Structure 1
Amino acid sequence: MQSKKLQALTGYRASELKDCIALVHDLQLNRKGTSLMAIRDKYKKDMFKGVSTLLPPVEIPASYFEDLKE
């Protein structure tokens, strides 16, 4: 979820993060590069709450990148 508070705290608008988010999403879906198994194994551990086992959405909705009105 987008929020004005997050935008204010980070200093970034959603549209400014689109390229970065797309790259991370591609890595998550193994679209580019290797499967990064060592990293995935590390973040499966309880101390990281098994975050690498979470399934990403197939696509990120365009509405996520719409800038919030001030």
Structure 2
Amino acid sequence: MPVIDSHLHLFRSVSESYPRTIYPGLAEADLDVPAEKLITLMESAGVDKAIVVPLGPEDHYLAEIVKQ
């Protein structure tokens, strides 16, 4: 049976290119969680698939990743 992570977020640290909502204690401005890190963590944990949830109403990084 496949292992699926049903709720996670991908985002870059806050910058002009990647503005985003800041959530104190959860998604600080300098926290960086790129797709490459997710894939590495998924492989090491035996997770087969993941459902990515936007961090806020405007998620420039996630939109860029989806296009790839």
* More RCO (CA 8 Å, sep 6+): 2
TM norm structure 1 = 0.29
Give the helix-richer structure, 1 or 2.
1
Q: Larger C-alpha radius of gyration, 1 or 2?
A: 1
**Greater strand share, 1 or 2?**
2
- Taking structure 2 as the reference length, what is the TM-score of the superposition? 0.30
